[in-house]
Structure 1
């Protein structure tokens, strides 16, 4: 037997592999796990073997983030974007306005400024970001305020001029540019195509090298993440990502999904990349965000001060971004080529529509291991999960909604029945679906332990429990942040569990979450993160 480069021992080891339960040692050579077991693993020790003493800490497979936006999130590490998120720096409206004032005063004359994280639900009291107000803040400077969900933004005249937008500019497919009664642009833009129409020229121009993306990946590694997706990847980012990996700055594996476009094609080959980076799919959006009012539901929003602050009318109902025919065309263009499809959807009507589209595509082009995906799944019903399971569809849940917006969902937007049953994790598991959890960063910061705690307890920040019958077990929650998302990303053969032959993508936690009350998981620190046996983060 070859000797190991390192042997981990001295603490609990959670393998997430039923074939290797509760080992005491694991051995690693050339970045891969070569042995998992008891004292016999020590037979792999050689003269140069490093014995890694966990010191009572707990070893797990590295966390896998199935739905995030690293090439968008990297903007938070540039000097053009100011963080005003309620979940990070600005919990109140006063904090937002004070931060904006300081940032505009400090920015060089004429330089664009993007404020990310505006949220009238979690930051009540914010003014209406009208075109006149934004023009007053910066008549010569492009200014954009990006709503925290990422599905809505407001821009001033200088920003629209910078992007070449005019009253005659047509709406991009899947998005829209808001206009007043006279047909004039208001500066308000919806959905990724609309937001990128005004913000893209600024963001793509600001990111020319891999440094910001390296910082973003380092922040993921600090949370124990070793693999992530990019749900909305732009071909314009390929040179940046290539430089990241060529210069050995990467600390996280990436599996990316290119945004669907009106061209309905990608120039990237289906077989591409390596174990560090691959494009594996195409991303599409059925509807928008519950915090904006544009999700496709069979039920109305409540009539509350909060929905009034969102600008929603009486008994407001959201809508879809695409017709059924458009979705059929998009999926019909990419899926027969072999691409996996990942579809953003919150509303129950939207779920029905995309499942109809998926069912039609599967009938025309059967594929036993397609792993077609639904993303977020806020209002998805138990019956819809059962239908998805029959079709072989998998789901990634934005369970962090329960923690940050749980009270808002029940009291302000949808009521106890609809809002309280948001992201039905237990119903999904009962239907036989392999689920994952995600943070959709930059919407909320990466926090796998908080995701798992939210799914196990279904507690909001105030301690309210939403639909306790939808709680899941700790083991199920760990699987939803490790092996399940690895499987969704077609990477279960190299990551997601501590199994011989897989990469030593590992995380060491200060405490064993199985032995700690989930209410206290926020206090569990990440001690070390490893990618292929090499530390990428050390506390």
Structure 2
């Protein structure tokens, strides 16, 4: 047998029985932890082991992102696509404007282009249309994704490539729509997943030359932030070859749990794969209730304000109530009834307080009808930006777990508080303190292409409630560093039904580690991201070599995976 002992300045175990240790012994053949304790303890358990001494570095469980979109995110944010979100280098529309002009001048003639992350609120960007994009890209097809994932903008080159007769889009699909001029022709806008799919589906294979490598770049980005496990909340059958190919590489840095979109008829079917279950598994079914706060499509009982920010984003003032629900309660009940006996988790996208009331009503009914009340079902709700403490208490009483998004506070917090909503609502956005006080199991996520997978920034923000500008919002919602770390480790593992194998450093669990430069408990809360950095990750007792991983993927034949992205647009289901 092959054993290794990993020694560090300290080991943060996230195990209540032994919160700190000096070393960890690992069976490198199985990737399982053999011992945790002093160096002498570990040498006693594995006397033949070699010792890897990390010196002053700190070892802790691998970070877990409970809700992501690693497949889709790689395709639409990594080269050759352009990621133009305000927090990755394009803070204003002037920056986006300059990039549009540069890309059009430098890219090969006729090459279609894809941009992701235009944000009308944060960048002050206009709602681009066909005419505006034609001015930037007169001789090529160009698609621009809104940062919310709920809208795309495209030019005449795309319309021509799609072959729409007289430039007229097809009939609006259920729950989605195309923008139209007075004569019925396309104005270069598509709203919501089904319409977006009809624009993106034929175009993406012409844009992404090596789909597997694009996805691998997102895996690597997550690993650089210390993430060793995540989920894909836009999984459909056509993406299976990509996930299997990535998981089969010798240095794959990420374990993935798949959540199958409910719009695909096979979502309730069993999953089989030659890939080990601990690297790739189908865990649940993804549904969605409402939309995104940034485009005015969440179901809320309180009003959007009438401000320059909301007017520029073309959001009407006032409350939306049930008008922004994507499906009726009857439709939600029917979907839950169809799949509740399949043994999968449900995961519901919901941001608004009205939306969460409806989802919890539907969950309570389905749990009772299927004799699942008071069982360990761990049905999920996602995002929850506008939701309340009393709702979290109800979720906890139903056994529903919470996957929350600190990124909403990080990047939009300054606008939420007084510009988008009244301060009584906006300052409290992402009521994480209330969620913990409610006794719910709370995990954190970054939601794939919507925000970078910056776990340390998540933690710093929730323990200070300060945005990158330094502004304080809702100090009542501050949580402890202990709780913040749990939300990115053991709680996230619980939400993924994986707390028996990952999420803490304990004997018998998989040896997934994040290596930090310093102990986060020994730095000022407001300086966590400045003073602590991720130095690397281990998966299954093996230090991950990201260069080797990317090179192995780059060497594969890209043609093998073009079919897997031929209808990737179908997977854009309310990220």
Query: Structure 2 length as normaliser, TM-score?
Result: 0.88
Asked if the contact 1:154–1:189 (Cα under 8 Å) also holds between the matched residues in 2, the reply is yes
Asked if the contact 2:246–2:252 (Cα under 8 Å) also holds between the matched residues in 1, the reply is yes
Measured at CA, do residues 9 and 243 of structure 1 come closer, stay the same or move farther in structure 2, by a change above 3 Å?
closer
Asked if the contact 2:142–2:157 (Cα under 8 Å) also holds between the matched residues in 1, the reply is yes
* Greater alpha carbon shift after TM alignment, 450-459 vs 101-110: 101-110
* Cα distance per residue 1:14-73 (max 9 Å; x no partner): 1111122222221111221100122322213534x2212221221100000111111111
Q: How far off is 1:165 after superposition? A: 5.6
Q: Give distance in 2, aligned partners of 1:173 and 1:500.
A: 50
Unmatched 5+ stretches in structure 2: 548-575
Q: 1:109: which partner in 2?
A: 109
Q: Give distance in 1, aligned partners of 2:295 and 2:89.
A: 21
Measured at CA, do residues 179 and 347 of structure 1 come closer, stay the same or move farther in structure 2, by a change above 3 Å?
farther
Q: Give distance in 1, aligned partners of 2:5 and 2:349.
A: 42
Is 1:44 the counterpart of 2:51 in the alignment?
no
Q: Give distance in 2, aligned partners of 1:209 and 1:114.
A: 14
Q: Give distance in 1, aligned partners of 2:92 and 2:132.
A: 20
Q: How far off is 1:281 after superposition? A: 1.2
User: Following superposition of structure 1 onto structure 2, how do residues 54-65 of structure 1 map, counting pairs within 5 Å?
Assistant: 54-65=54-65
Q: How far off is 1:331 after superposition? A: 2.1
2:11 to 13, 36, 39: 13
Q: 2:354: which partner in 1?
A: 349
Secondary structure, aligned partner of 1:12:
strand
Asked if the contact 1:214–1:249 (Cα under 8 Å) also holds between the matched residues in 2, the reply is no
Q: Give distance in 1, aligned partners of 2:33 and 2:160.
A: 55
Query: Structure 1 length as normaliser, TM-score?
Result: 0.94
Q: How far off is 1:243 after superposition? A: 1.9
Measured at CA, do residues 171 and 346 of structure 1 come closer, stay the same or move farther in structure 2, by a change above 3 Å?
same
Asked if the contact 2:72–2:215 (Cα under 8 Å) also holds between the matched residues in 1, the reply is no
Secondary structure, aligned partner of 1:55:
coil
Q: 2:23: which partner in 1?
A: 25
Q: 2:194: which partner in 1?
A: 193
Q: How far off is 1:419 after superposition? A: 0.8
Query: Over aligned residues, Cα RMSD in angstroms?
Result: 2.1
Q: Give distance in 1, aligned partners of 2:8 and 2:242.
A: 40
> Aligned residue pairs: how many?
534
Q: 1:141: which partner in 2?
A: 140
Measured at CA, do residues 109 and 438 of structure 1 come closer, stay the same or move farther in structure 2, by a change above 3 Å?
same
Secondary structure, aligned partner of 1:281:
strand
Unmatched 5+ stretches in structure 1: none
2:279 to 273, 276, 281: 276
Q: How far off is 1:161 after superposition? A: 4.4
Q: 2:87: which partner in 1?
A: 87
Secondary structure, aligned partner of 2:144:
strand
Secondary structure, aligned partner of 2:94:
helix
Secondary structure, aligned partner of 1:412:
coil
User: Following superposition of structure 1 onto structure 2, how do residues 394-413 of structure 1 map, counting pairs within 5 Å?
Assistant: 394-413=401-420
Q: How far off is 1:128 after superposition? A: 3.5
Q: Give distance in 1, aligned partners of 2:398 and 2:25.
A: 39
Secondary structure, aligned partner of 1:210:
helix
Secondary structure, aligned partner of 1:279:
strand
Measured at CA, do residues 227 and 134 of structure 1 come closer, stay the same or move farther in structure 2, by a change above 3 Å?
same
User: Following superposition of structure 1 onto structure 2, how do residues 326-365 of structure 1 map, counting pairs within 5 Å?
Assistant: 326-365=331-370
Q: Give distance in 2, aligned partners of 1:82 and 1:71.
A: 16
1:534 to 518, 533, 542: 542
Q: How far off is 1:289 after superposition? A: 1.0
Secondary structure, aligned partner of 2:448:
coil
* Greater alpha carbon shift after TM alignment, 143-152 vs 64-73: 143-152
Secondary structure, aligned partner of 1:404:
helix
* Greater alpha carbon shift after TM alignment, 106-115 vs 167-176: 167-176
Q: How far off is 1:435 after superposition? A: 0.7
Q: 1:308: which partner in 2?
A: 311
Q: Give distance in 1, aligned partners of 2:251 and 2:58.
A: 27
Asked if the contact 1:85–1:148 (Cα under 8 Å) also holds between the matched residues in 2, the reply is yes
1:484 to 487, 491, 495: 491
Asked if the contact 1:270–1:339 (Cα under 8 Å) also holds between the matched residues in 2, the reply is no
- Does 1 or 2 have the higher relative contact order (CA < 8 Å, sep 6+)? 2
* Cα distance per residue 1:258-296 (max 9 Å; x no partner): 2221x5443741566611001111112211111111111
Q: How far off is 1:203 after superposition? A: 2.6
Q: Give distance in 2, aligned partners of 1:339 and 1:161.
A: 42
Is 1:240 the counterpart of 2:242 in the alignment?
yes
Q: 1:462: which partner in 2?
A: 469
Asked if the contact 1:218–1:536 (Cα under 8 Å) also holds between the matched residues in 2, the reply is no
Asked if the contact 2:296–2:315 (Cα under 8 Å) also holds between the matched residues in 1, the reply is yes
Q: Give distance in 1, aligned partners of 2:110 and 2:546.
A: 40
Q: Give distance in 1, aligned partners of 2:498 and 2:103.
A: 42
* Cα distance per residue 1:314-345 (max 9 Å; x no partner): 43637121111222222222222222111111
Q: Give distance in 1, aligned partners of 2:386 and 2:402.
A: 13
